[in-house]
Amino acid sequence: MSSSRKALAIVLAAGEGTRMKSDTPKVLHQVAGRSMLAHVLAAVAEAGVETIAVVVGPGREDVTAEALKRAPHAQTFVQAERLGTAHAVLAARAAIAAGCDDLLVLFADTPLVTGATIRALREALAAGAGVAALGFSAADPFGYGRLLQDEAGRLVAIREEKDASAAERAIRLCNAGLMAIDGAAAADWLGQIGNSNAKGEFYLTDIVEIARACGREARVVVADETEVLGVNDRIQLAQAEAVAQNRLRRAAMAAGVTMIAPETVFLSADTVLGRDVTIEPHVVIGPGVSIADKAVIHAFSHLEGASVGQGATIGPFARLRPGAALAEAAKVGNFVEIKNANVAKGAKVNHLTYIGDADIGANANIGAGTITCNYDGFFKYRTEIGENAFIGSNSALVAPVKIGAGAYVGSGSVVTKDVRGDALVVARGRQMEKAGWAASFRAIQAERKAAAKKS
């Protein structure tokens, strides 16, 4: 396909998705940590399509905002009434009028479509087709439009289930909805579509017969059924999630990641994993995570918005929240939470600790039960811990505070002032001992208890 061909992708995102039973628009529901609309826009970009129009419903500023966040140069158009797919496409008639070689129609609730499939549709147009429809062989074709072909395999028509004959309903090659149309003829052909059908809607699928009547050929591009899964309810959303996760896991393992029990690991669409990374069972990786070569993520850990350096180890049972940045060979152990903090090379935060809004120097050691007290109910403050510093167990560092390089903080301390480098600070109540007090206390209490029983 020539790189000089200009393409326009129209992404239909106006459906409310009432079957989702949600206040969130259907296309903003997430698969692998990314909205369905964002998945489709990413596939469009992967296919090399730069001109994008997104059709949204009235009052859907949230959908518009997501579209422009993911594709800043996209145009958005409002479909005020829902009168069928062709009507939805024509909501973007201004974009169509600007001209293109390939007009692509995609659906924002079909999040698993790939850039390769979009390119295949474009290639069919480049080879001379006037229309290319995406099809799939359905395990159960009920409810889908059928792709009718002649003896030579050319697409003759697309028949909706309600308008199909018994013989046509027996066909298993079904319409996925996605379509490519010759951009030079698109406006004319779309204008010829009527609504003489069982639902009284303007079906985009009628464009196949219109193109053929104009002497142009229509072709079918076949995709796997899982790729064209449309999401209309929470059940199908879960099915799409399962497919997406399987894709992500397989891609990660093929690139050199070890997953001991891959079916228990959940990734995000933007997860970046280096070579020789090991991920143990029951790990959840949310959006915005990068993990460098040879890092180990132990079981039952949760990461989001974090970066993990080469050879670092996380968990088990660790949580990295947004802004957590671990350098090479850093260690975060069990029941540790890190948020908006930098942990430098070789530093250790081994267990039972909260580090928030902090900078931890190289090779520092943070003892069990340590917390950075970073929030006063109104504002957040940072804690700075120098390299090679040692923070004793069960210490509270009240921010803003700085612990100098090489300093020691005695266990159980509540540190409210800066500590100089290589100093020892102990900030706790003075220990007092009374010899024999415990034995005397037990005797008195036993005597009182016995007296209470007699009375």
Residues with catalytic roles: 351
Let me know if 98 is exposed, middle or buried by CB neighbors in 10 A (0-12, 13-18, 19+).
Answer: middle
109 labeled part of a ligand binding site: yes
278 labeled part of a ligand binding site: no
79 labeled part of a ligand binding site: yes
HSE of 32 in the Cβ direction (CA atoms, 13 Å)? 24
Determine phi and psi for 2, rounding to 5 degrees: -70, 135
452 labeled part of a ligand binding site: no
374 labeled part of a ligand binding site: yes
365 labeled part of a ligand binding site: yes
203 labeled part of a ligand binding site: no
223 labeled part of a ligand binding site: no
350 labeled part of a ligand binding site: no
160 labeled part of a ligand binding site: yes
16 labeled part of a ligand binding site: no
411 labeled part of a ligand binding site: yes
85 labeled part of a ligand binding site: yes
358 labeled part of a ligand binding site: no
301 labeled part of a ligand binding site: no
393 labeled part of a ligand binding site: yes
Output the furthest CA–CA distance in the chain (Å, rounded): 110
Cβ–Cβ < 8 Å for 124, 235: no
Annotated binding-site residues for acetyl-CoA read 368, 374-375, 393, 411, 428
Annotated binding-site residues for Mg(2+) read 109, 232
Annotated binding-site residues for UDP-N-acetyl-alpha-D-glucosamine read 12-15, 26, 79, 84-85, 145, 160, 175, 232, 321, 339, 354, 365
Annotated binding-site residues read 12-15, 26, 79, 84-85, 109, 145, 160, 175, 232, 321, 339, 354, 365, 368, 374-375, 393, 411, 428
